[in-house]
Amino acid sequence: MVDVIRAFTTAAAAFAAGAERILCVETLGEAFALQRIHRDAVLMGEEQGDRPAGFDLGNSPIAVSTADLGRGLVIQRTSNGTRGLAATREAGSVLAAAATNVGATARWITTHRPDSEVTILCTGDTSEDEACAKHLGKLLIGASPDPGDLSAAIRAAGHQEHMAQWRDPASEKHDGFVADLEACSVVDRHGFAMVGHRDGANVELRADG
């Protein structure tokens, strides 16, 4: 499952910041319900691009990268990424991929599931996810796609498709998105795959690698 801007880039940043596991949920209600059970959990994500009231962190890889997540549990909810992941009903392994861990994702698949059929799904109809999916597909067949091409595709997609949400270049949201977009475009920053297993109605991710 691919979501570059920004759900799975943010998830990878959370693992790099010390998270032990991430529970991906479909709705805000599920996120709050789980936090009542796991009282030390960190709520992370967005609703229509903004950090929901009551959430500890938004959907920003830059902001998350400086958080101290203390080897704990993160509950993540986003409009596309985690909703798509939680909606999967496949019995086999499911992985969350972004450009920042695309190489590690390919290595995990070829090491642990070398003879399995692989389906690459994009959580949204966006060109950056499509570019990442194609890059991953090439890695899986042993090709060596240019990371620079993927980075350029992500930057172009971000500016064309998403900057319109924050037209005012003086706004904090605009500046934050520009920084996040750059973080999303760094190919293979992280050397771990994010491997998911179903946990009731949700998917629990752990870093492997």
**Spacing of C-alpha 106 from chain mean position:** 15
Q: pLDDT per residue over 32-61, tens digit each?
A: 999 999 999 999 999 988 899 999 999 999
Q: What is the mean pLDDT of residues 151-173?
A: 73
Most confident of 130-139, 176-185, 197-206: 130-139
The pair of structure tokens assigned to 149 is 């091409």
Query: How many helices (H) and strands (E) would you count in the chain?
Result: 8, 6
Domains and CATH numbers, the chain: 7-208 (3.90.1560.10)
**Which three-class secondary structure state does DSSP give residue 95?**
strand
Sheet holding 94-96, edge to edge: 42-45, 73-77, 21-25, 202-208, 193-199, 94-96
Residue 133 has pLDDT above 70, yes or no: yes
